[in-house]
Amino acid sequence: MDIKKLIYKNPALSGDYPAFKIEDAPDNPLVTFYEWFGHAVDAGVSEPSAFVLSTADAEGVPSARIVNLRDMDSEGFIIGSNSESRKGRDLENNKNGAMTFYWREVGRQIRIAGRVDIANEDENREDFIRRNDTSKALSIIAKQSEVLGSMDELDRDMQRAMERVENDKEAYETWTLYKVRPEKVEFFQARTDLAHIRLEYERSKDGWRKHLLWP
């Protein structure tokens, strides 16, 4: 198996990318994120809300997975998960997290690192109620990332959980919202001449500082 040949059949960063005028970049990275996200949606980026969430356990062992952004506000980025999942256990013991968005169609990447807060029970319950029944059932089962004996076992537990959802719309169990409060945010804009633009924001006592990074 020669995977290198397959890799070089599809060269990276070879698209028609938008301009990024760094002199016009807002002073707040959350505003910049909102602008870039809107551009990604308008440009037809596939699943722009999907990103890699990286966490580490109490011993510092990392793990990563694709999740979806649920919301954002002036303080940070909001995601949801089962508190008994690997990421939930990680965030219970290690409050540091990182997010990575990659939008291939426009050659843009956003890296976010910061502390993660856990929402209160009322916020978790309200968000759980808004979810569709299948998502609620999976949350109630609360076995994410455990060893599964067979697909029949999954079907049986799903059926029981769906019955419970139908009888109790507020059974939120382990569903939990998390807010990533950024300390650093980097915006990467690819260029075909490889002089890629990297603009980093870093939180300071007075707000945010921004500076360029070497590509």
Which residues are known binding-site members for FMN? 86-87, 109, 144-145, 198
Q: Give residue 35's Cα distance to chain centre.
A: 17
- Contact at 8 Å (CB) between 109 and 103? yes
Query: Cα(18)–Cα(207) distance, rounded to whole angstroms?
Result: 28
Closest CA to 77 of 205, 183, 199: 183
- Contact at 8 Å (CB) between 200 and 184? yes
Query: Cα(50)–Cα(40) distance, rounded to whole angstroms?
Result: 12
Burial 36-57 (b: 16+ CB within 10 A, else e): bbeebeeeebeebeebebbbbe
Residue ranges of the annotated binding site are 86-87, 109, 144-145, 198
